Structure 1
Amino acid sequence: MLSMQLTDDAELRALEPWHAPEFAQHVAAAQDHLLKWLPWSTSAAEEEGAEKLLQRYADAQARDEGRILGIWVGGKLVGGTLFRVWTRSMGTCELGVWLAPEAVGRGLVTRASKVMIDWAFRVRGMHRVEWRCATTNTRSSAVARRLGMTREGVLREAFQLRGVRHDTEMWAILASEWPTKP
Structure 2
Amino acid sequence: MFKYIIDEDLELRLISMEDSDEFFNLIDSNRTHLREWLPWVDGTKSVEDTKNFIKSSMNQYGANNGFQAGIWYMDKIVGIIGLHQLSWYHKNTSIGYWLAEGFQGKGIMTKACRAVIEYIFITLGLERVEIRCADKNFKSQAIPERLGFTKEGVCRNVENLYGNYVNHIVYSVLREEWV
Same fold (TM over 0.5): yes
SS in 2 for 1:136: coil
Which blocks of at least 5 consecutive residues in structure 1 are unaligned?
none
Identity %: 30
Q: Which residue of 2 aligns with 1:165?
A: 165
Matches within 5 A, 1:18-37: 18-37=18-37
Deviation at residue 41 of structure 1 after TM alignment: 2.1
Other-structure match for 2:77: 77
Counterparts of 1:176 and 1:35, CA distance in 2: 36
Distance 2:75 2:163 in 1: 36
Q: Which whole-Å deviations, capped at 9, do the CAs of 1:107-165 have from their partners, x for residues lacking one?
A: 11010111111111111111110000100010111101111110100001111111110
Contact 1:84/1:94, CA 8 A, preserved across alignment: yes
**Partner residue in 2 for 1:130:** 130
Correspondence list, 1:77-156, <5 A: 77-156=77-156
The Cα of 1:44 is off from its aligned counterpart by 3.1
Where do 1:5-20 residues align within 5 Å?
5-20=5-20
Give 1:5 deviation, angstroms.
Answer: 3.1
Higher mean C-alpha deviation, range 19-28 or range 40-49: 40-49
Greater mean deviation of Cα atoms: 112-121 or 10-19: 10-19
Gaps of 5+ in 2: none
Deviation, 1:49, is 0.9
Deviation at 1:74, TM superposition (A): 2.3
The 1-side partners of 2:46 and 2:24 are apart by 5
Residue 16 of structure 1 and its aligned partner are, at CA, apart by 1.9
- Equivalence for 2:3: 3
Q: Output the CA distance in 1 between the equivalents of 2:57 and 2:147.
A: 24
Question: Secondary structure of 1:131's partner?
Answer: strand
Q: Root-mean-square deviation (CA), in Å?
A: 1.3
Residue 37 of structure 2 aligns to a residue whose secondary structure is coil
Separation in 2, partners of 1:154, 1:35: 22
Q: Does the 8 Å CA contact 1:157/1:167 hold for their aligned counterparts?
A: yes
Other-structure match for 2:176: 176
User: 4+ residue stretches of structure 1 with deviation over 6 A?
Assistant: none
Amino acid at match of 2:50: A
- SS of equivalent to 1:58: helix
1:25–1:45 CA contact under 8 A, matched in 2: no
SS in 1 for 2:105: coil
